[in-house]
Amino acid sequence: MIDAPLWLYGLLAGLLGASAVCSASETAFFSLEPAERARAGRATSVLHDRQRDFLVTVLLANLVINILYFAFADRLGAGLVGYEHLGVILATLLALLIVGEIMPKTVGLRGRLFLARTMAPFWLVMIGLVAPIRRPLVRLLEGVGRLVVARAGDERDLTPEELADVLERSAAEGDLLDHEADLIAEVVELRSIRVREIMTPRVDVIFVEYDGSNREQAANAGLAIRATWLPVVDGGADRVVGQVRVRDLFVHPLRSVAQLNMPVQFVPEVASALDLLRVLRDERTAEAVVVDEWGGTAGVVTIEDILEEIVGELRTEGEARLVNAVPLGEGVFRVPGGLSIRDWNEHFGHRVVPTEFETVGGFVTALMGRIPRAGDVVRFGGLRLEVHEVRGRRVRFVDIQVESEPAAGTGGPSA
């Protein structure tokens, strides 16, 4: 054993451990599946939104740790020459590769969910602490990167706006048919659409109990709405354990729900529709259960919901988007409370209401500041919204009247 103070061995062991934490955290976070990310907690979701900051922080931390490790490891070989000195160098390098890189990456991959959930708060703090160093460093590297790319003559990816302009010009010049350009544009737009915007919300989902206690009732309800599959739960809607085909519930009456149960895919509600499409393609399935940031069940989504977003937009303007709206007179519509705000905006163009609300019913509830009652009226940006029907705590139908053009800079609610 090399004659060196104990504190030096302790320091080197600590630096190896810190390097292992960096490597394991990086591997765990970037190997998370979308459904796992949704169950990993809010801190992990925040970290996911700041992927670049996290990556730069963990790489910067690992770089500093490794520099310190080799600087102090060099003191182990002080006074040694020849093969002895070379042996110390190789031993310290091998220790870093095995203990600081290979083993932690293996552990990080296998225990990614636990590590991501455990380490996310720590890395959020680290991101804040190294921000004064990270930000100028990132700007410097981005500047160098742009310079290198410009000199190499490489082309950057088109932004959605630039791609839309290219498609519009291609259609105008006859290079693409109008419907072809529209179809491509709608597929591109899937990147900006969140799963929660197209899913069937939890309150509208029919669940089958794993023990079969509500089998007949759920099967008949599923058949009535022409559902092809139903999620299977074990003790509550937040405990989805699989899925069952509605057809199988009738075709195989002697087989229990547990026997008919099949695995189901989970996706986070904040994932884009394009990410959802990739997941369904990779898993070779047509449906998934949507989970919120706390891991609870938010709803369900199918491939048909994505197709509706693509194909529905290609119909005659306004034809499919307010298909459930009932005209009551000049500029007055009765719409379902579940009508999405995005669909409303696309139909009425400039009459935009805040998109942080998913549905018309949710928008009215937010404006009222309480659970609405039938007959309640609220105004917003030239629109008069009257609650027509409420069932339980949910707005079923809203009568919307276009009263006037909203003045510039206005749009707040009024009683």
Cα–Cα distance for residue pair 119/25, rounded to 1 Å: 7
Cα–Cα distance for residue pair 19/386, rounded to 1 Å: 60
Please give the tally of structural domains in the chain: 4
- State the pLDDT at residue 24: 92
What percent of the chain clears pLDDT 70, i.e. is strictly above it?
75
Average pLDDT estimate for 110-130: 89
Cα–Cα distance for residue pair 286/379, rounded to 1 Å: 40
Q: Is the distance from CB of 195 to CB of 270 less than 8 angstroms? A: yes
pLDDT band, residue 206 (cuts 50/70/90)? very high
What CATH number should be reported for the domain holding residue 384?
3.30.465.10
Structure tokens at 140: 């410097």
The answer to whether position 14 is within a domain reads yes
pTM assigned to the model? 0.46
Give per-residue pLDDT as tens, 350-377: 455 555 567 888 888 888 888 889 999 9
Average pLDDT estimate for 31-51: 77
Mean pLDDT score across all residues of the chain: 79
Write the single-letter amino acid at 206.
Answer: I
Give per-residue pLDDT as tens, 226-258: 888 999 998 888 999 999 999 999 989 889 999
Average pLDDT estimate for 36-50: 77
Average pLDDT estimate for 382-408: 78
Q: How many residues does the chain have?
A: 415
Ordered DSSP codes for 189-216: HGGG-BHHHHSEEGGG---EETT-TTHH
Q: Which residue's entry shows tokens 């054993």?
A: 1
Q: Is the distance from CB of 199 to CB of 269 less than 8 angstroms? A: yes
Higher pLDDT, 402 or 276: 276
- State the pLDDT at residue 275: 85
Does residue 94 share a domain with residue 47? yes
The answer to whether position 149 is within a domain reads no
Does residue 298 share a domain with residue 331? no
The answer to whether position 276 is within a domain reads yes
Average pLDDT estimate for 41-57: 82
- State the pLDDT at residue 311: 65
Range of the domain at 168: 160-192
The answer to whether position 148 is within a domain reads no
Does residue 253 share a domain with residue 283? yes
The answer to whether position 143 is within a domain reads no
Does residue 380 share a domain with residue 397? yes
- State the pLDDT at residue 186: 62
Does residue 43 share a domain with residue 84? yes
Please enumerate in sequence order all residues whose Cβ is within 8 A of that of 183, keeping only pairs 6 or more positions apart, or say none.
310, 314
- State the pLDDT at residue 313: 46
Residue 76 has pLDDT above 80, yes or no: no
Pairing of strands 332-336, 229-233: unpaired
Cα–Cα distance for residue pair 16/102, rounded to 1 Å: 12
Q: How many CB atoms lie within 10 A of CB 62?
A: 20
Residue 397 has pLDDT above 80, yes or no: yes
Does residue 329 share a domain with residue 286? no
The answer to whether position 264 is within a domain reads yes
| Phi, psi (degrees; rounded to nearest 5) at 270 | -90, -5
Average pLDDT estimate for 208-231: 90
Strand order in the sheet with 394-402: 326-329, 332-336, 394-402, 383-391, 377-380, 413-414
Does residue 183 share a domain with residue 204? no
Does residue 119 share a domain with residue 12? yes
Task: Give the residue among 142, 129, 107 at the shortest CA–CA distance from 22.
Answer: 107
Does residue 346 share a domain with residue 357? yes
Does residue 239 share a domain with residue 175? no
Q: How many CB atoms lie within 10 A of CB 137?
A: 13
Pairing of strands 229-233, 208-209: parallel
Pairing of strands 265-268, 287-291: parallel
